Copies of this chain bind each other. A is one copy, B any other.
């Protein structure tokens, strides 16, 4: 399970953790029933206080995405319905877009610049049939 925190982004750490776990679920990398790392384990991996991870877990629990169980661990829940799963996927896409725009903004890019770069990469995607990679 790969989660990465951007400490320079001003997006709160607990929020980044929440978003990325939801994303891992929506892409199927985390399956219902799977156990998440313990708050201390994940916190150690991310070099973050475990209360910060606990906060993310608690909010995901409140949202009915995962089940945190005192002394036992935390686990991925089943989506309540197919319709809800689709909603979660849409929300994930929204968050992805928000993150893209806010980070671009933080890096000092104007909307027009962002759009230009987006269009460029988008065109490549259309031509190649798959999104551009890191190289």
Contacts and interface: CB of A to CB of B under 8 A. Distances in A.
Given A100-B100, A101-B122, A118-B118, 19 more contacts: A7-B67, A7-B69, A23-B103, A27-B107, A93-B104, A93-B113, A96-B103, A97-B100, A97-B121, A98-B121, A98-B132, A99-B100, A101-B121, A102-B132, A102-B133, A104-B131, A111-B125, A114-B122, A115-B122
Contacts of A7: 67, 69, 72
A131 B11 CA distance: 13
Nearest to A130: B105
A118 B117 CA distance: 12
Contact of A96 (B26, B89, B100): B100
A54 to B, nearest CB: 13
Given A15-B134, A27-B106, A106-B27, A111 B122 contact: yes
B23 A134 contact: no
Contact of A10 (B70, B95, B102, B132): B70
Nearest to A7: B69
23 contacts: A7-B69, A10-B70, A12-B70, A23-B107, A27-B103, A93-B109, A93-B114, A94-B121, A96-B103, A97-B100, A97-B117, A98-B121, A98-B131, A100-B100, A101-B121, A101-B131, A102-B132, A102-B133, A105-B125, A105-B131, A111-B125, A114-B122, A118-B118
